[in-house]
C-alpha cells in the first residue's frame, strides 16, 4: 500500500478543492490585493518603513538569557540546571535545545505561580532543591532565573543559604547561581553570567597554584563537534587543558541502551583546578565578557580572547596563541592538515570568488564567518546581528576594511531582525545566505540558497556534530558552501547546455 | 468485554514513589492509579489540575503556551504579539505544526515570531506606550493583518501594565480588533489556564464585537472546535464531515481566520475535538446561544465509524444514509491498512504521555492495530478528562497525572513498553533507552493521523518506530 502523508496529501486534487471551498468562510482579501502587497514588501519604499520600526520586532535571531545559562550548566558533569521562576520557561528551554541537539535535556524549574508572585519564591526554591536533589542526585546545582523571579526581585543568594541552613541540601553541595533576566541581553549573556557564577563559586577561597594547563572557553557554542575538534587539536599539540562547560558528551552521548542523566561535561575536579591554569583562552569574546573580567581580577590569571577559529587565519591565530601560551610546538600532523585544507580551498575558490553573502547570527560566529568568507574571496554584503552591540559593529567593520577588495561593500546591522534582512535581500539581492533554520523562511521568500550555520538548526540532522572550528571545521564549512553553490548551479542549468557533470 | 492487563501496577507505583521526600511522596501518590474501566471520580478519584511540585522536572508548560502556543497562535490572519521579553516567542516559533494556507508575512502570520522584545526600561517604566507604537507599526508593516492579539508574558502582569486600555484605544485608532490576552506564564499551574483565558478572550473581545460575514445558513452547518490542524489533521477531519453532507462553516482554531471565529454562533452543532482546551467556549455557546456541542474522535477506524454515526444521528435521514455510504467507501481501505500492519504490531505494549485529549483519543487507533495501551496520562488534564479516560483503557493499565521525568523513566523500566508516545522532551530519553518512540504532540513531523487519510499514516509510522532495524544495533554496556 502506498501511504500518502502530509507531503503528498495536500497537493492532491481533493484537498486543493477543500482549500478552495473553505475560502467561502475565510473572508480573505482578493488574490490580486495579496499579490500587490506581496510585491510592495519587496520595494525600497517598504524597506524604509521596515527600517523605521521602533517598537516592533519580527523574527529576531536571539533567545533569552536563561537558555544560555542552561546550556552552560549542561557543560558540567553531574550538574542539574536549576531555573528559579515560572515552569513554562524550562519546558521551552528543554524543547528548544532537544530540537537542535536531538538529545535529552534535563533541567528543573521551581514552578513559581501567582502566590509566589505575591509572597516571593522562597518556598519554591527550597522545595525545588529538596525534590531535585532526592530525585536526580546532582553533585552541583547551577541556578539561574527567569524574568518572573527577576521582576519580583527574589534574592537568590539568601534563598540558597536558607535552604542549606535548613538542611534541605548538604552544606557542601555546590550551588552556583546567576541572575539571568530575559529583558536584558540575550542567550550569550546568560551563558556568560552562569559561567562566571560557576567559576567564582567553585574557586571561592582557593588560591591559585600556577600549573601547566590552559583553560578553554568556547562560549555559547552549539556544535558538539567543535568541542571535540578543539580537544583534538590541543591533544595533538600535547597541551594539557581544561575545557570549561564542555557540552560535547552531555549533548552528544553514545547510545548504550541506557539513559544517563549526566553523561558528560567538565568534571567538578577540573572546574576547581581551573584557577590553577596558566591562562584562560576564550574563543567567543561576546559570550565571556563578565567571565573574562572575573578571571583577570579575581584569579589574577591571563585571560586571552582570540577570534572564533573559523577559517584558516583564525585557526592559525588560535594555534599560535596556544603555542605562545604553552610553549608547545605545532606538530607536523597539524601543519599537514592545514596544508590539505588550504589545498581544498584553492581547488574550490572559483565557485565562491565574488559570490555575495548575507549573514545573520551571534556576534562571535559572524566575526568568524566574515573572516573565512573574506579568505575565500566571497563578498559579505549584509551582516545582521540581532544581539550585537556597538563594539561588535566596530570590530566587524574593521575586519571588512582589512580586505577592501572584498569587504568594502559589507554593511553591518546591529539590533536588527530577520524581517529587516528580508527587505535587504529583496532590495539588494545576494547569492548566498548564512543563518539558522528559521532563515528558511527567507529562502522561501527570496529563493536565495540557505547555508545552515548557527543555532538553532532544527531541520537538518547532525550538522552540530561536525565541527566548524579549526582546519577540519574550515573544510566542513568549505564543503557546505561550495556544494550549496554547485547544487544551485545544477538547478539553474538543468534545462540548458551548461548542465555539466564535471565542475 | 473487559480488557485486562496482567501487571502489578500498584506495586510498580509504590516502588517508584519510594525515592520521594515525604511531602512530595504523599502528594504524588494521589496522581497515580491502576485503572478500572468502571471507575468514577468518587470511587477512584485521581487527583489532577494542581500545582506541579517544584524541582521534580515536570513536562508542563505555562498559560502563555496554552494561549499563544495553542489557542490563539493558529488563527492565521491575525498578528499575535508575544508581549514581553524575547524568549517565549522564540521557543514557540513555528514549532507546533498547526498548518495553514496563505502567504506567511503577507496575509497569514502563523510561522512568525512577533514580539515587543522587552528591555529593562520597559520593565521599569511600563510597556504600554511601546505596545501602542507596536500596534501602529504592525498596521504599516502588515497591512493585510485582520487583527492583533496581545499575548502577555510574565512581566506584563507583574509590572501592572494596562494592556486592556491599549487594546481599546488601538482597536479604535487602527480599525482592526486588538485583543488583550492575560496569559502571563505564572498564572495557573499549566497550559490549561491559558486555554481558558484564551477562550474567555474570544468570548469577550470577538463575539458580538467583531463583525463577520456568512452569506447563508443551512440545516447542515457545523463547526469544528479545538482542532489545531497539527500536520493538517483538521483538514482530514473536515473532509469526512463534508463527505457526510455537512457544511463546515468554521474550523477553529487550526487554519482559522478571524471571520471564521465570528461564525461561532452560527452552526447547528459544534463538534468538539480537544475538549480540554475549548470546552469553555463550547459551554458558553450552548448556554447563551442554545447551540449544542458534542465530542468526536476521528482516530482509527473503530472510533471514526462510531463518531461519524453519532454525529449523523444529530441530523436527518439523508445525512445518516450518506454517512453509511462514506463508511462503506472507506472501510475496505481501512481493513487493508489493518491487514497489512496488524500482524507486525499485534500485542505490542504502548505507553503514552501527552497533552489535552490524545492520551485517551488515540487508544482506539492503537487497539485497531492490535496494540495494548499499558499506561497513559496527561500533562494538564482535569477531573472530567480522567472520567472520560477510565472507560477507554484496559483494567490495570497505569494512569499518571503530570508525571515528572523521574517517574516516566522508572515506569518505562518497569512496564517495558514496546513503544512510547510522548513529546520532544521525552523523545531522546527513550531513544537512549533503546525504546521505540513517536512524538504524539507534533506527530513527529509526520501526520495527519486523524480521519481516513490519517490512519494509514499512523499505522505506517507506528510500524516504522517499532520495527525499524536500527534498534538492534544498540550494544548495551557490559553485555
Is 0.95 topped by the overall pTM?
A: yes
From the candidates B18, B84, B86, which should be mutated to test the interface with A, based on the most A CB atoms within 10 A?
A: B86
A32 touching chain B per CB within 8 A: no
Q: What is the largest CA-CA distance in chain B?
A: 71
Q: Angle CA(A77)–CA(A79)–CA(A83) in degrees, nearest 5?
A: 150
pLDDT tens, residue by residue, A447-481: 999 999 999 999 999 999 999 999 999 999 999 99
Please report, in angstroms and rounded to a whole number, the separation of the first and last CA atoms in chain A: 41
Reported as a single tens digit per residue, the pLDDT across B159-190 is 999 999 999 999 999 999 999 999 999 999 99
The confidence score (pLDDT) of residue B3 equals: 86
Please list every residue in chain A whose beta carbon sits closer than 8 Å to the beta carbon of residue B457: 3-6
**Nearest CB partner across the interface for A259, out of B95, B432, B475:** B432
Taking residues A270-285, what's their average pLDDT?
98
CA B422, CA A405: separation in Å to the nearest integer?
A: 54
A58 and B113 within 8 Å at the Cβ level: the answer is yes
Asked if A385 is an active-site residue, the reply is: no
The x, y and z cell numbers of residue A362, run together, are: 551571534
Task: Assign B477 a pLDDT band (cuts: 50, 70, 90).
Answer: confident
ipTM attached to this prediction? 0.97
Radius of gyration from C-alpha coordinates of chain A: 25
Distances (CA, A) of B70 to B64, B356, B443: 9, 11, 15
Q: How many distinct helices (H) and strands (E) make up chain A?
A: 22, 13
Determine the Cα–Cα distance for residues B321 and B4; give it in Å rounded to an integer.
Answer: 36
- Please give the Cα distance from A125 to A142 (Å, whole number): 13
Q: In what order do the strands lie in the sheet with B419-422?
A: B32-34, B398-401, B372-378, B349-352, B419-422, B437-439
Nearest chain B residue to A437, by CA: B94
Q: pLDDT (tens digit, 9 = 90+) per residue, B300-352?
A: 999 999 999 999 999 999 999 999 999 999 999 999 999 999 999 999 999 99
Give the confidence band of A166 by pLDDT, cuts at 50, 70, 90: very high
Interface of B with A in 319-348 (CB under 8 A): 336-337, 340
- Tallying the residues shown for chain A, one arrives at 503
The alpha carbon of A319 is separated from its chain's Cα centroid by a whole number of angstroms, namely 22
Among residues of chain A, what percentage have pLDDT more than 70?
100
Element spanning B164, H or E: helix B163-174
Mutate to test the interface with B, among A36, A41, A91 (most CBs of B within 10 A): A91
Grid look-up 488574490 returns A31
Strands, DSSP E only, in B317-392?
A: 349-352, 372-378
Do residues B309 and B415 make contact, with C-beta atoms less than 8 angstroms apart?
no
User: Of how many residues is chain B composed?
Assistant: 479
Q: What's the pLDDT tens digit per position in A248-265?
A: 999 999 999 999 999 999
Do residues A78 and A140 touch, judged by C-beta distance below 8 A? yes
Look at residue A333 and tell me whether its pLDDT is greater than 60. yes
Closest-CA residue to B63 (of A389, A117, A5): A117
Opening angle at CA B58, ends B57 and B64, nearest 5: 125
Q: What is the DSSP secondary structure assignment for residue A357, as one 8-state letter? A: E
Neighbour count for residue B150 (Cβ, 10 Å): 30
Strand order in the sheet with B114-115: A57-58, B114-115, B78-83, B147-152, B178-181
Residue B44's pLDDT band, with cuts at 50, 70 and 90, is confident
pLDDT number for residue A1: 79
Chain B, 17 to 46: residues with Cβ < 8 Å from chain A are 19-21, 23-24
Q: How confident is residue B388, by pLDDT bands cut at 50, 70 and 90?
A: very high
Q: pLDDT exceeding 90 applies to what percent of chain B? A: 96
Residue with cell 550548566: A73
Q: Is the pLDDT of residue B479 over 60?
A: no
**Residue B147 grid coordinates:** 487583527
DSSP reduced 3-state for A199 = helix
Cα B193 from Cα B76, distance rounded (Å): 22
Give the Cα separation of A425 and A382 in Å (integer). Answer: 8
Active site (annotated) includes residue A147: yes
Find residue B398's DSSP bridge partners: B34, B375
B471 lies within 8 A of chain A by CB:
no
Secondary structure in 3-state letters for A139-194: CEEEEEECHHHHHHCCCHHHHHHHHHHCCCCCCCCCCCECCCCCCCCCHHHHHHHH
Amino acid at each position: 500500500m502506498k501511504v500518502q502523508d502530509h507531503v503528498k496529501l495536500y497537493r492532491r486534487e481533493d484537498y486543493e478543492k477543500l482549500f478552495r471551498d473553505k475560502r467561502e468562510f475565510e473572508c480573505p482579501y482578493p488574490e490580486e490585493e495579496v499579490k500587490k502587497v506581496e510585491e510592495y514588501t519587496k520595494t525600497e519604499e517598504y524597506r524604509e518603513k521596515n527600517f523605521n520600526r521602533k517598537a516592533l520586532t519580527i523574527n529576531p535571531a536571539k533567545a533569552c538569557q536563561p537558555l544560555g545559562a542552561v546550556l552552560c550548566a549542561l557543560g558540567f558533569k553531574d550538574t542539574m540546571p536549576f531555573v528559579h521562576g515560572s515552569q513554562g520557561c524550562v519546558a521551552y528551554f528543554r524543547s528548544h535545545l532537544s530540537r537542535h541537539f536531538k538529545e535529552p535535556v534535563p533541567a528543573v524549574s521551581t514552578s513559581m505561580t501567582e502566590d509566589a508572585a505575591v509572597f516571593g519564591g522562597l518556598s519554591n526554591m527550597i522545595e525545588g532543591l529538596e525534590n531535585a536533589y532526592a530525585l536526580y542526585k546532582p553533585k552541583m546545582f547551577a541556578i539561574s532565573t527567569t524574568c518572573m523571579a527577576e521582576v519580583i526581585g527574589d534574592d537568590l543568594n539568601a534563598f540558597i543559604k536558607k535552604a542549606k541552613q535548613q538542611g534541605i541540601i548538604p552544606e557542601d553541595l555546590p550551588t552556583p547561581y546567576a541572575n539571568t533576566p530575559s529583558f536584558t541581553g540575550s542567550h550569550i549573556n546568560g551563558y556568560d553570567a552562569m559561567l562566571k557564577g560557576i567559576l567564582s563559586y567553585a574557586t571561592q577561597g582557593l588560591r591559585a597554584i600556577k600549573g601547566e594547563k590552559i583553560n578553554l572557553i568556547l562560549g555559547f557554542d552549539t556544535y558538539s563537534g567543535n568541542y571535540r575538534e578543539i580537544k583534538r587539536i590541543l591533544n595533538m599539540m600535547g597541551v594539557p587543558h581544561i575545557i570549561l562547560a564542555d557540552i560535547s558528551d552531555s549533548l552528544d552521548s553514545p547510545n548504550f541502551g541506557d539513559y544517563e542523566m549526566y553523561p558528560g561535561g567538565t568534571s567538578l575536579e577540573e572546574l576547581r583546578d581551573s584557577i590553577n591554569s596558566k591562562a584562560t583562552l576564550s574563543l567567543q569574546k561576546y559570550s565571556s565578557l563578565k567571565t573574562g573580567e572575573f578571571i583577570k581580577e579575581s584569579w589574577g590569571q591571563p585571560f586571552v580572547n582570540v577570534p572564533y577559529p573559523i577559517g584558516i587565519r583564525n585557526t592559525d591565530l588560535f594555534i599560535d596563541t596556544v603555542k605562545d601560551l604553552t610553549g608547545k610546538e605545532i606538530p607536523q600532523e597539524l601543519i599537514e592538515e592545514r596544508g590539505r585544507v588550504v589545498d581544498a580551498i584553492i581547488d574550490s575558490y572559483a565557485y565562491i570568488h565574488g559570490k555575495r553573502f548575507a549573514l545573520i547570527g551571534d556576534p562571535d560566529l559572524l566575526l568568524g564567518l566574515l573572516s573565512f568568507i573574506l579568505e575565500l574571496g566571497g563578498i559579505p554584503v549584509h551582516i545582521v546581528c540581532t544581539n550585537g552591540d556597538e563594539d561588535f559593529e566596530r570590530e566587524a567593520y574593521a575586519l571588512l576594511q582589512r580586505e577592501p577588495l572584498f569587504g568594502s561593500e559589507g554593511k553591518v546591522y546591529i539590533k536588527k531582525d530577520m524581517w529587516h534582512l528580508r527587505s535587504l535581500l529583496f532590495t539588494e539581492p545576494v547569492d548566498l545566505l548564512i543563518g539558522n533554520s528559521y532563515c528558511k523562511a527567507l529562502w522561501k521568500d527570496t529563493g536565495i540558497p540557505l547555508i545552515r550555520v548557527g543555532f538553532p538548526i532544527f531541520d537538518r540532522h547532525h550538522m552540530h556534530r561536525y565541527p566548524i572550528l579549526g582546519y577540519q571545521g574550515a573544510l566542513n564549512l568549505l564543503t557546505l558552501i561550495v556544494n550549496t553553490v554547485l547544487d544551485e548551479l545544477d538547478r539553474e542549468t538543468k534545462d540548458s547546455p551548461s548542465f555539466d557533470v564535471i565542475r | 468485554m473487559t480488557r485486562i492487563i496482567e501487571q502489578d501496577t500498584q506495586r510498580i507505583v509504590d516502588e517508584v514513589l519510594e525515592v520521594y521526600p515525604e511531602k512530595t511522596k504523599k502528594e504524588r501518590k494521589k496522581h497515580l492509579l491502576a485503572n478500572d474501566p468502571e471507575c468514577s471520580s468518587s470511587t477512584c478519584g485521581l487527583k489532577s489540575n494542581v500545582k506541579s511540585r517544584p524541582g521534580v522536572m515536570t513536562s508542563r508548560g505555562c498559560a502563555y503556551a496554552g494561549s499563544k502556543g495553542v489557542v490563539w497562535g493558529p488563527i492565521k490572519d491575525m498578528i499575535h504579539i508575544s508581549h514581553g521579553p524575547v524568549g517565549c516567542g522564540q521557543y514557540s516559533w513555528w514549532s507546533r505544526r498547526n498548518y495553514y494556507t496563505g502567504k506567511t508575512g503577507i496575509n497569514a502570520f502563523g510561522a512568525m515570531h512577533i514580539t515587543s522584545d522587552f528591555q529593562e526600561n520597559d520593565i521599569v517604566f511600563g510597556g504600554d506606550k511601546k505596545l501602542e507604537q507596536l500596534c501602529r507599526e504592525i498596521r504599516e508593516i502588515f497591512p493585510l493583518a485582520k487583527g492583533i492579539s496581545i499575548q502577555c508574558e510574565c512581566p506584563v502582569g507583574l509590572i501592572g501594565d494596562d494592556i486592556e486600555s491599549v487594546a481599546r484605544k488601538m482597536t479604535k485608532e487602527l480599525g482592526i480588533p486588538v485583543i488583550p490576552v492575560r496569559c502571563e506564564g505564572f498564572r495557573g499551574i499549566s497550559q490549561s489556564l491559558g486555554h481558558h483565558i484564551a477562550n474567555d478572550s474570544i468570548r469577550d473581545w470577538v463575539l458580538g464585537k467583531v463583525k463577520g460575514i456568512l452569506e447563508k445558513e443551512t440545516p447542515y452547518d457545523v463547526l469544528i472546535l479545538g482542532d489545531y490542524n497539527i500536520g493538517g489533521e483538521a483538514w482530514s477531519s473536515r473532509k469526512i464531515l463534508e463527505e457526510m453532507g455537512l457544511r463546515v462553516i468554521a474550523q477553529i482554531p487550526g487554519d482559522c481566520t478571524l471571520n471564521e471565529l465570528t461564525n461561532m454562533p452560527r452552526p447547528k452543532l459544534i463538534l468538539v475535538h480537544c475538549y480540554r482546551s475549548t470546552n469553555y467556549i463550547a459551554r458558553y455557546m450552548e448556554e447563551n446561544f442554545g447551540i449544542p456541542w458534542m465530542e468526536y474522535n476521528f482516530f482509527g477506524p473503530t472510533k471514526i465509524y462510531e463518531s461519524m454515526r453519532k454525529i449523523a444521528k444529530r441530523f436527518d435521514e439523508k445525512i445518516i444514509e450518506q454517512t453509511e455510504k462514506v463508511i462503506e467507501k472507506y472501510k475496505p481501505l481501512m481493513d487493508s491498512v489493518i491487514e497489512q500492519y496488524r500482524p507486525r504490531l499485534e500485542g505490542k505494549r504502548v505507553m503514552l504521555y501527552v497533552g489535552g485529549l490524545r492520551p485517551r483519543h488515540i487508544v482506539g487507533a492503537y487497539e485497531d492495530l492490535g496494540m495494548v495501551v499499558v499506561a497513559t496520562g496527561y500533562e494538564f488534564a482535569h477531573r472530567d478528562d480522567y472520567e472520560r479516560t477510565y472507560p477507554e483503557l484496559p483494567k490495570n493499565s497505569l494512569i499518571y497525572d503530570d508525571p515528572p521525568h523521574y517517574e516516566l523513566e522508572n515506569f518505562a523500566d518497569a512496564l517495558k513498553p514496546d513503544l512510547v508516545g510522548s513529546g520532544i522532551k521525552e523523545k531522546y530519553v527513550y531513544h537512549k533507552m533503546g525504546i521505540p518512540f513517536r512524538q504524539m504532540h507534533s506527530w513527529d513531523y509526520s501526520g495527519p493521523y486523524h480521519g481516513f487519510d490519517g490512519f494509514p499514516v499512523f499505522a505506517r509510522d507506528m510500524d516504522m518506530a517499532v520495527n525499524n532495524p536500527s534498534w538492534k544495533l544498540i550494544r548495551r554496556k557490559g553485555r
